[in-house]
Amino acid sequence: MPRSTAYYQPVEGVPDEDLVVMHLIDKIHVKHPFKGSRRITSDLRKLHGRRVNRKRVRRLMLKMGITAIYPKPKTTKADRGPNHKVFPYLLAGIDISAANDVWCADITYIPMARGFCYLVAIMDVHSRRILAWRLSNTLDTRFCLEALEEALVRYGAPAIFNTDQGAQFTASAFTGVLQAAGVRISMDGRGAWRDNVFIERFWWSLKHEEVYLRAYDSVWDARQSIRSYMAYYNSERSHSSLQDRTPVEAYSQSLPPAPPLPAQPQAQVMNLC
């Protein structure tokens, strides 16, 4: 047996110091989502007294799934292979005036007392209603797919589904479900800000009104607490942009009217006299 294996203990998880820096990066990103690794590194040094370099910040941002959100030209396209197809952007100039016209989805980082997890949410753009969500401790496609399938079962299919070009949303398993449901798929350019704005505002509300006030002991604890907040956000929290209605009210009131039921044939009464 090699001597090195007799005493070596493999390192698991993320070091505590990295977790502290990741939580600070998350707060900076939620407040200023347009800041990239260079400006976040500067903030960590000047505002929080952290001796970090840009290389480390970029590595942690990649682990968190965070990128700066700002308009920039699509000069390159990532080669994701045959199982990751990028679709064109379809929302330019369209009027989103009713529920289920457009849905969008995004993933965010959720800090816990020890460690972290990821949250995906699917939102109806017109009403801001959160239709489905899932928590996961890994950035895979499975938890995004579960949220999508729940939303389709509970609310039907939207006309258009818009996301960024994240690997979870370009995976054939994810886009295949949308195509099978007859949904048109739209994707922003990498780092685009246009249609992430509504769900980015939701992330800000979620984190300042729920996540940053807690210290979840486990993913199970995070799931229970976030579930309570989702119910509050959808059914009790009014929005000025929705004329002080809740997302549930805005969603139900903007659904297209149901088609009339076919007329039932009248039963003929026989005259026995």
Q: Which domain CATH number covers 185?
A: 3.30.420.10
- Do residues 108 and 49 both lie within one domain? no
Q: What is the residue range of 58's domain?
A: 14-64
- Do residues 35 and 118 both lie within one domain? no
- Do residues 146 and 45 both lie within one domain? no
Q: Give pTM, 2 decimals.
A: 0.81
Question: Predicted confidence band at 268 (pLDDT cuts at 50, 70, 90)?
Answer: low
Give tens-digit pLDDT for 166-205.
Answer: 899 999 999 999 999 999 999 986 545 555 788 989 999 9
- Do residues 180 and 108 both lie within one domain? yes
Domain count, the chain: 2
Give tens-digit pLDDT for 199-255.
Answer: 989 999 999 999 999 999 999 999 999 999 999 999 999 998 899 999 999 999 988
- Do residues 113 and 60 both lie within one domain? no
- Per-residue DSSP letters for the chain? --THHHH-----S--HHHHHHHHHHHHHHHH-TT--HHHHHHHHHHTT-----HHHHHHHHHHHT----------------TTBPPPPP--TT----STTSEEEEEEEEEE-SSSEEEEEEEEETTT--EEEEEEESS--SHHHHHHHHHHHHHH---SEEEE-S-HHHHBHHHHHHHHHTTPEEEEPPTT--TTTHHHHHHHHHHHHHTGGG---SSHHHHHHHHHHHHHHHHHT--BGGGTTB-HHHHHHHTSPPPPPPPPPPPPPPP---
Does the pLDDT of residue 7 top 90, yes or no?
no
